[in-house]
């Protein structure tokens, strides 16, 4: 049975004291959540300290990005193996902000996926179309291509460790959420493509999260759908109470 997951993507927000405070609030509330895997993706600088602060907690940690290289002279980059050594178990790969602002191609993303898996990190692989691509009715093709070029070089054993997040770019940080129907339709499509490329077991066991202005008011309606296994939450993950409501929305 696939996992229900609610992952917070804190992006480039919160100074250390604020971040510690939010972590503390989430830790207190975590007791009210059951059967849901909670993952926090803070700025990478905080992971090591957070690992210590989360002793005895089931909350998992992830980074928001990793380098496509193993190690070496790449000033400013962070290697997957470093992330792992600081106590994270997940890493977001291919977020649309990375694709857009840092020109990450599907080929680069495929390499990042490889680095993550080689370091025993579970990638949270992001895919999703631009508004113009949806308006041209090209959204299924775009997502399928992102999956094929970024992910489907993995074998059956490897893909089992991947979480997929469908994040329509037009919904991220805009307050415009995909309707539950639009999200379910794409999630079902992703599962169908997984089945065609791999098999039924891979498709059924893969957690597919929705991301893009998912919040405390709309999470329930989204998560009620059969192919939506949780959310990758940006803005609303910065408030502990909202994050908790979302985690209780199954
Ligand atoms: P948002 O961000 O919830 O603020 O739209 C989601 C994401 O970018 O992962």
Q: How much is the mean pLDDT over the chain?
A: 97
Position 31 scores a pLDDT of 87
pLDDT at 20 over 90: yes
- Per residue in 162-186, pLDDT (tens digit) is 999 999 999 999 988 999 999 999 9
Window from 84-93, 119-128, 173-182 with minimum mean pLDDT:
173-182
CA angle 94, 107, 48 (to 5 degrees): 40
pLDDT average, residue stretch 132-151: 98
Q: Which has more pLDDT, 141 or 175?
A: 141
For atom 1 of ligand 1, the residue with the nearest CA is 234
Among residues 30, 104, 129, 167, which one is catalytic? 167
Residue 80, helix vs strand vs coil: helix
Q: Which of 95, 111, 133, 187 is catalytic?
A: 95
At residue 120, the pLDDT reads: 98
Does residue 156 have a pLDDT over 90?
yes
195-245 pLDDT, tens per residue? 999 999 999 999 999 999 999 999 999 999 999 999 999 999 999 999 999
pLDDT at res. 224: 98
167 is catalytic: yes
Nearest to 91 by CA among 126, 116, 109: 116
Closest ligand 1 atom to residue 174 Cα is 5
- Give residues (CB < 6 A) around ligand 1: 9, 167, 172-173, 211-214, 232-236
Please tell me the distance between residue 212's alpha carbon and the centre of ligand 1 in angstroms: 5
Question: Is the overall model pTM greater than 0.85, yes or no?
Answer: yes
Angle value at C-alpha 201, between 199 and 206, nearest 5 degrees: 100
To the query of whether residue 139 is one of the catalytic residues in this protein, the response is no
CA–centroid distance, 129 to ligand 1, in Å, is 14
Residue 1: the pLDDT is 83
Q: What is the whole-number distance in angstroms between the Cα of residue 124 and the centre of ligand 1?
A: 13
Give the pLDDT of residue 96. Answer: 98
State mean pLDDT over 40-54: 98
pLDDT for residue 64: 98
| Residue range 102-112, pLDDT digits in tens | 999 999 999 99
Q: Judge residue 196's burial from the number of C-beta atoms within 10 Å of its C-beta, 0-12 exposed, 13-18 middle, 19 or more buried.
A: exposed
Strands 208-211 and 122-127: unpaired
Q: Whose CA is nearest to atom 7 of ligand 1?
A: 234
142 C-alpha to ligand 1 centroid (Å): 19
Average pLDDT over residues 57-80: 97
What is the residue with the minimal CA distance to atom 6 of ligand 1?
Answer: 234
Give the residue from 181, 182, 162 showing the smallest Cα distance to 170: 182
């Amino acid at each position: 049975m696939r996992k229900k997951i609610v992952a917070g993507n804190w992006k480039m927000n919160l100074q250390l004291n604020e971040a510690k405070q939010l972590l503390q609030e989430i830790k207190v509330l975590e007791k009210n959540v059951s059967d849901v895997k909670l993952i926090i993706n803070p700025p990478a600088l905080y992971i090591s300290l957070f690992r210590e602060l989360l002793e005895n907690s089931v909350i998992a940690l992830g980074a928001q990005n990793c380098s496509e290289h193993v190690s070496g002279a790449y000033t400013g980059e962070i290697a997957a193996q470093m992330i792992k050594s600081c106590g994270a178990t997940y890493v977001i790969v291919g977020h649309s902000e990375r694709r857009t602002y840092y020109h990450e191609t599907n080929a680069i993303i495929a390499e990042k996926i490889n680095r993550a898996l080689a370091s025993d990190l579970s990638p949270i692989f992001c895919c999703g179309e631009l508004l113009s691509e949806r308006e041209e009715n090209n959204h299924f093709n775009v997502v399928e291509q992102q999956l094929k070029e970024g992910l489907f070089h993995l074998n059956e054993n490897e893909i089992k460790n991947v979480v997929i997040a469908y994040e329509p770019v037009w919904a991220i940080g805009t307050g415009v959420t995909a309707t539950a129907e639009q999200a379910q339709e794409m999630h079902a499509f992703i599962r169908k493509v997984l089945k065609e490329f791999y098999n039924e077991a891979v498709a059924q066991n893969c957690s597919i999260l929705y991301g893009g202005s998912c919040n405390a008011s709309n999470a329930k309606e989204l998560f009620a759908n059969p192919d939506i296994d949780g959310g990758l939450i940006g803005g609303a993950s910065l408030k502990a109470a909202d994050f908790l409501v979302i985690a209780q929305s199954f």
